[in-house]
Each structure stands twice: as C-alpha cells, then as structure tokens.
Amino acid sequence: MFAVLVGLARSLRPHQWVKNVLLFAALVFARRLGDPDAVLHAVAGFALFCLLSSGVYLLNDVIDREHDRLHPRKRHRPIASGLVPAPVALAAAAVLFAVGLAGASRLSTGFLVVAVLYVGASLAYCLGIKRLVILDVMVLASGYPLRAVAGAEAIGVSFSNWLLLCTSLLALFLGFCKRRQELTSLGDDASGHRAVLAAYSVPFLDQMIAVVTASTVVAYTFYAFSPEVAAKLGTDKLGFTIPFVIYGIFRYFYLVHMRGEGGRPARDLVRDVPLLVNSVLYGLTVLLVLYHGLP
C-alpha cells in the first residue's frame, strides 16, 4: 500500500507545478505584492491549479498507459508500470477535480470559469485533440495563458492583452520544441508512442519554432516599449527585461538542438543552471523596475 501511495504521489507530478507560477504574473505586474489579500488569493489560486493540473496528469497517464509502455522513459511511470492501478488513479483524479473546482467557486466566479476552461481544454486534449496535428500543440499551449488569466481573476484585476499574447506565443514555442524532442528521441518508434508525431517532421517543426520564436521576441519587445503599458505600470523601463527574454529563448534553443532536450519544459527550467539563473534575474529585474524604479 505504501508503494502505491508513493507512486500516486509521483503521478501527481509536483515538479510540473512550477508552470502554475504563471498565476502570480498578474499579482506582480498589477503591483499588488504589498496587498495581503491579493497575495493570499494568488496563493490560493496557485494551490487550486496544482490540484487541477495533477488531476489532469493522473487522467492523462491512465489514458496513455499503453502508449507510455512503448516509451523508454515513460514506461517507468507508476501507472504505466502497473504500480498504481488505473481505478485508484481515476478515483484520485476525481477527488482532485472536485476539491479544485469547489475551491475555485469560493475564490471568484471569474476564476471558476477559467478553471473550468482549463480542465475542459485539458480533458479534450487527453481524449482526442492530441491526435490532431498543430491543433494538439495549440490546445496543449492554451494551459499557459489560461493560468495567467486565472491569476488575474483570482485577485480581481484585468490582464494585459500584450502579456497574454506573449504568454501564448511562448507556450507555442515550448509545445513545438516538445514535439521536436519527442520526434528525434523516439526515432522510428515515435508514432507508436504518440500517433500525431507521424504527421510532423523535424524540418517542419523547426520552421514552426522559428516563426513562433521571432513572434515572441517581437511581441514582448512591443509590450515592453508600449506607451500604454508604461502608463499603466507607471514606468517606461520594462525594456531592461528584454535581454533576459532573448537569452532564455536562445538558451532553450541550445538545449533543444545541442543537447536533445526540450521534452520536459518544467524540469529543463529548474535543472539547467544558466536557464534557472536567467529566470531569477528576469524576475528580480521586473521587481526592481516595477517596485523600486530604475534611473
């Protein structure tokens, strides 16, 4: 029983909760870090999305358990290996969804709507959209901007359309990089593990990644230098954060092309020291610009 519980805990993928840090974006950019109520609501939203996302991972692992057994790494997952029985995983997922959505309803109506959209999009992906070329990456990537919007709804502020665009483009970049890594690492077995990979090719994905990369940099640059954003944030110094965004994208490019990584963005972020340091420096620069000002 203890082994099953440990396996169930692993299947929740707590390392993936780093993605939910996006819920704090609105708190930071709305300059509400000094508001205890806003901070409390943001933390609650983060915790609820951790529950919901873990429920999605459990359901996804149950659905994909046969295909995961063909993958050199995923076959060791607790559900794919048989350590955690599928009925146990499904029951745990149901509890996480129930608690997460109940908590979301207590936080705010807007937050509940976004949470339902997130769960709905995730379930649609698990149940069929993951087999549709291009659309699979778009729906998978939608979880990132939905997290950002949820953070805004949790504290009752509007979210910048520019930042929403940047978040969406960055999510597409990560999604196409993930598909490229799967395609190159699995080789001839790629379509056996994930059927949609048969519709992709490395040159095609490289073109898609290039387009999304350029779009992300341009969109964030326009955001940082936008007079409207400067008026809203009370500073025109957000441009100081652009080098960190460019380096972060290029570093991830390096991990994808030179190290064959990119299949697990959350782990890549925390395990690659240069990328992690860059992310910390970006965050500190944002705080310095927004809360202390730069000369």
Q: Is 90 exceeded by the pLDDT of residue 70?
A: no
Please give the Cα distance from 264 to 203 (Å, whole number): 21
What pLDDT sits at residue 295? Answer: 55
Length of the chain: 295
Query: Are 100 and 45 found together in one domain?
Result: yes
Query: Are 124 and 220 found together in one domain?
Result: no
Query: Are 116 and 136 found together in one domain?
Result: yes
Task: Name the DSSP letter for residue 72.
Answer: T
Query: Are 152 and 164 found together in one domain?
Result: no
Q: Which residue in the block uniquely carries the two structure tokens 């997952």?
A: 77
Kindly state the average pLDDT of the residues 184-194: 71
Instruction: List Cβ neighbours of 69 (8 Å cut-off, separation of 6 or more).
Output: 75, 80, 81
Q: Is 80 exceeded by the pLDDT of residue 74?
A: no
| Token representation of residue 227 | 């007079």
**149 vs 15, which has greater pLDDT?**
149
What pLDDT sits at residue 277? Answer: 95
Domain boundary among 139, 159, 179: 159
Domain boundary among 126, 159, 192: 159
Kindly state the average pLDDT of the residues 172-182: 90
Domain boundary among 124, 159, 194: 159
Please give the Cα distance from 87 to 70 (Å, whole number): 21
First to last CA, the chain: 60
Band (141; pLDDT cuts 50, 70, 90)? very high
Query: Are 82 and 221 found together in one domain?
Result: no
Q: How large a percentage of the chain has pLDDT more than 70?
A: 96
Query: Are 18 and 65 found together in one domain?
Result: yes
Query: Are 15 and 151 found together in one domain?
Result: yes
How many domains would you assign to the chain?
2
What pLDDT sits at residue 235? Answer: 86
Q: Which of the residue ranges 85-94, 117-126, 259-268 would you say has the lowest mean pLDDT?
A: 259-268
Helix (H) or strand (E) holding 173: helix 161-186
Query: Are 135 and 181 found together in one domain?
Result: no
CATH at residue 150: 1.10.357.140
Nearest to 14 by CA among 270, 212, 291: 270
Query: Are 41 and 148 found together in one domain?
Result: yes
pLDDT digits 0-9 by tens, 221-231: 999 998 888 88
Query: Are 138 and 24 found together in one domain?
Result: yes
For residues 80, 71, 140, 33, the Cα torsion angle rounded to the nearest 10 degrees is 70
Band (31; pLDDT cuts 50, 70, 90)? confident
Query: Are 85 and 176 found together in one domain?
Result: no
Rama region for 93: left / alpha / beta (φ>0; ψ in -120 to 50; rest): alpha
Instruction: List Cβ neighbours of 164 (8 Å cut-off, separation of 6 or more).
Output: 145, 148, 149
| Token representation of residue 268 | 């890549």
Q: Is 90 exceeded by the pLDDT of residue 282?
A: yes
pLDDT digits 0-9 by tens, 75-119: 778 888 878 888 899 999 999 999 999 999 999 999 999 999 999
Residue 263: give the domain boundaries: 160-295
Band (194; pLDDT cuts 50, 70, 90)? confident
What is the torsional sign of CA 137, 140, 143, 146? positive
Q: Is 90 exceeded by the pLDDT of residue 263?
A: no
Instruction: List Cβ neighbours of 108 (8 Å cut-off, separation of 6 or more).
Output: 41, 153, 154, 156
Mean pLDDT score across all residues of the chain: 89
Query: Are 140 and 17 found together in one domain?
Result: yes
State phi, psi for 194 to the nearest 5 degrees: -140, 110
Please give the Cα distance from 293 to 5 (Å, whole number): 48
